[in-house]
């Protein structure tokens, strides 16, 4: 017989160096994509430029503020909260996503829709809800009082902020992981089963590692959201860094000090990005088997069916039913019956179209950068990845004010138009689309794109005909995330919207800010209902 002398060294080379290089397009990244990425990056860097300009005016006062010990305490608080919330959302969302995609859980699509809704609960409403439901004299307390429970564990401070943010941000991880599960090659799982691993061991050793980029992307969204959240931490009395930034805007009207503090947040964002980069791992995630639209085989839950339903149910109970019940209670408790319905259709339409436009635009703009970073992970392109997340770690007020500054003074023609409003949404929320698009692009085998080029299609025709259709799940998930987050966005809408432009979110704020909770109730219900729309619309088209 022929003996083919296989050198161990040459095989290893083929797999690591040559294999890793397979993703490179020879002729370099397409210039239009690079140009588009540059434009996006410049837009996202505007807030940073603004912050540096403003912080420069702060003087010694800033150093005095930064160097006091309390700054370290608050920084630690923020980091601790972001870590805890990220961890708990992952623990919660990964099993949920697995259940709705890969198991025979009944009513999967309904669960999917319901489990995404909590994302649309604005954190200033979520804070009120949590206090109203679980607070010292809240609903739960009054239910338990006859049973002799007269004191609940304290909701204020870290536990409350952690719970509120976990309940209202876990859908970030849920959506990203769900999209990744849909695009995953499950023959690997079958391979693992055949190698003697049971369900759990397969999940832990094959599925979970494959989900790593998705979990990292979702976790990043949660961590940065937590870092930049103001509503929940202020209502639940937790001293975070963003709260301190707001105090400087609101208390002393001092933009310079606030900007200096916000730069610290930028630094923290960068640290988190480095951490995420490291946690992604170095493996490639397309299997080469192009699972594509192969019908998914769902895992029978068997005796785990009831616990699975209980898990989904209790998450929905806390994150959805509890807010809805609390808001309903506001309505019932009201004696003035002043809730307004006549303005609702107009507000709903405003919210709907502006959020849909932001969601769509975010996917379109995230694509070039995601495509470049996935297919051309070169030194020149890497910085784009970091830049794209900068806006997301900053409080909304900072983004809003920086665009107020640049809009009014550099581009007055677009100032207070929908153009600048949506641009601001994008600067802040682009990462939500980016993370999803990137994750799903990673799952598209580059040899499919090569096949298309080889068959005479240009890079952009290939993008349209092959890459995008295959990355649709992630792109949709990204669009939905941006849509839902834009629905509840407040400071940007208030400050940058055309004069007189109102959305459901601004209406909810208007009502709750002065304590007209009953008046906010119907608006909140419409907000929650609209947030379910895209999931119900698009979930049907996916396998």
Q: Kindly state whether residue 466 participates in binding another protein, applying the rule CB under 8 A.
A: yes
* Single residue of 470, 477, 508, 539 touching another protein by CB under 8 A: 470
* Single residue of 309, 447, 532, 542 touching another protein by CB under 8 A: 447
Q: Which part of the chain contacts another protein (CB under 8 A), choosing from 274-282, 313-321, 452-460, 525-533?
A: 452-460
User: φ, ψ for residue 299 (rounded to 5)?
Assistant: -80, 125
Q: Kindly state whether residue 386 participates in binding another protein, applying the rule CB under 8 A.
A: no
- Contact between 179 and 477 under an 8 Å Cβ cutoff? The reply is yes
Specify the long-range contacts of residues 94-98, CB closer than 8 Å, at least 24 apart.
94/173, 94/177, 94/208, 94/211, 94/215, 95/311, 96/170, 96/174, 96/311, 96/312, 96/315, 97/173, 97/174, 97/175, 97/177, 97/178, 97/181, 98/177, 98/181, 98/203, 98/207
d(CA 124, CA 164): 10
Site for another protein in 93-152 (CB under 8 A): 128, 131, 135-138
d(CA 114, CA 91): 18
Smallest separation (angstroms) from another protein to the CB of 515: 4
H helix and E strand count, the chain: 28, 0
User: φ, ψ for residue 103 (rounded to 5)?
Assistant: -110, 175
Q: Which is nearer to another protein, 113 or 407 (CB)?
A: 407
Smallest separation (angstroms) from another protein to the CB of 252: 5
* Single residue of 83, 199, 290, 417 touching another protein by CB under 8 A: 290
Q: Kindly state whether residue 83 participates in binding another protein, applying the rule CB under 8 A.
A: no
Site for another protein in 388-407 (CB under 8 A): 397, 400-401, 404-405
* Tokens matching residue 333: 């408790």
* Single residue of 108, 305, 382, 457 touching another protein by CB under 8 A: 457
Task: Give the distance, in angstroms, between the CA of residue 363 and the centroid of all CA atoms in the same chain.
Answer: 13
* Single residue of 275, 324, 325, 448 touching another protein by CB under 8 A: 448
Q: Which is nearer to another protein, 148 or 500 (CB)?
A: 500
Q: Which residue has the tokens 């794209």?
A: 388
d(CA 423, CA 413): 14
Site for another protein in 196-255 (CB under 8 A): 234-235, 237, 244, 246-247, 249-255
DSSP conformational letter for 217: H
* Single residue of 147, 412, 413, 540 touching another protein by CB under 8 A: 412
Q: Kindly state whether residue 347 participates in binding another protein, applying the rule CB under 8 A.
A: no
Smallest separation (angstroms) from another protein to the CB of 379: 13
Q: Which is nearer to another protein, 374 or 494 (CB)?
A: 494
Residues 34-73 as x/- pattern, contact with another protein by CB under 8 A = -------------------------------x--x-x---
Sign of torsion over alpha carbons 107, 108, 111, 117: negative
Q: Which is nearer to another protein, 185 or 276 (CB)?
A: 185
Instruction: Give the binding-site size for another protein (rule: CB under 8 A).
Output: 103
Q: Which residue has the tokens 């190698």?
A: 195
Q: Which is nearer to another protein, 256 or 438 (CB)?
A: 256
Sign of torsion over alpha carbons 117, 123, 129, 131: positive
Smallest separation (angstroms) from another protein to the CB of 415: 8
End-to-end CA gap in the chain: 48
Q: Kindly state whether residue 506 participates in binding another protein, applying the rule CB under 8 A.
A: yes
Site for another protein in 1-30 (CB under 8 A): 1-7, 9-14, 17-18, 21, 24-27
């Amino acid at each position: 017989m022929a003996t083919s002398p296989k050198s161990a060294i040459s095989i290893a080379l083929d797999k690591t160096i040559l294999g890793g290089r397979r993703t490179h397009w020879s002729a370099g990244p397409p210039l239009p994509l690079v140009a588009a990425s540059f434009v996006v990056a410049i837009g996202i860097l505007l807030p940073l430029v603004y912050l540096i300009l403003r912080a420069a005016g702060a003087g010694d006062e800033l150093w005095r503020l930064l160097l006091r010990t309390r700054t370290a305490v608050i920084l630690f608080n923020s980091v601790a909260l972001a870590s805890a919330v990220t961890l708990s959302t992952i623990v919660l969302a990964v099993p949920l996503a697995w259940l709705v995609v890969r198991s025979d859980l009944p009513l999967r699509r309904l669960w999917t829709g319901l489990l995404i809704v909590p994302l649309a609960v604005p954190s200033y409403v979520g804070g009120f809800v949590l206090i109203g439901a679980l607070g010292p004299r809240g609903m739960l307390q009054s239910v338990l009082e006859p049973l002799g429970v007269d004191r609940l564990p304290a909701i204020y401070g870290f536990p409350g902020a952690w719970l509120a943010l976990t309940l209202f941000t876990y859908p970030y991880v849920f959506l990203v992981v769900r999209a990744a599960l849909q695009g995953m090659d499950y023959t690997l799982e079958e391979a693992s089963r055949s190698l003697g691993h049971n369900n759990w061991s397969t999940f832990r050793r094959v599925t979970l590692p494959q989900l790593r980029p998705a979990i990292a992307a979702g976790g990043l969204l949660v961590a940065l959201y937590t870092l930049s959240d103001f509503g929940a931490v202020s209502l639940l009395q937790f001293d975070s860094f963003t709260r301190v930034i707001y105090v400087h805007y609101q208390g002393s009207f001092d933009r310079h000090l606030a900007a200096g503090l916000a730069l610290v947040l930028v630094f923290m964002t960068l640290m988190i990005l480095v951490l995420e980069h490291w946690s992604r791992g170095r493996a490639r995630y397309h299997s080469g088997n192009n699972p594509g639209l192969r019908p998914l085989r769902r895992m029978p839950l068997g005796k785990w069916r009831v616990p699975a339903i209980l898990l989904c149910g209790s998450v929905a109970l806390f994150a959805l039913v509890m807010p809805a019940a609390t808001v309903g209670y506001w309505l019932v408790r009201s004696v003035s019956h002043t809730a307004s319905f006549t303005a609702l259709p107009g507000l709903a339409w405003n919210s709907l179209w502006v959020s849909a436009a932001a969601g769509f635009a975010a996917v379109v703009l995230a694509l070039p950068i995601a495509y470049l970073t996935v297919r051309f992970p070169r030194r020149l392109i890497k910085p784009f990845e970091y830049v794209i997340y900068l806006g997301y770690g900053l409080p909304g007020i900072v983004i809003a004010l920086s665009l107020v500054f640049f809009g009014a003074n550099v581009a007055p023609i677009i100032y207070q138009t929908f153009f600048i409003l949506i641009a601001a949404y994008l600067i802040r929320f682009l990462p939500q689309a980016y993370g999803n698009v990137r994750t799903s692009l990673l799952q598209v085998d580059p040899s499919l794109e090569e096949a298309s080029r080889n068959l005479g299609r240009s890079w952009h025709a290939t993008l349209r005909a092959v890459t995008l259709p295959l990355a649709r799940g992630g792109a949709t998930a990204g669009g939905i995330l941006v849509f839902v987050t834009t629905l509840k966005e407040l400071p940007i809408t208030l400050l940058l919207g055309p004069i007189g432009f109102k959305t459901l979110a601004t209406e909810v704020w208007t009502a709750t800010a002065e304590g007209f909770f009953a008046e906010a109730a119907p608006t909140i219900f419409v907000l929650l209902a609209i947030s379910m729309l895209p999931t119900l619309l698009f979930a049907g088209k996916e396998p």
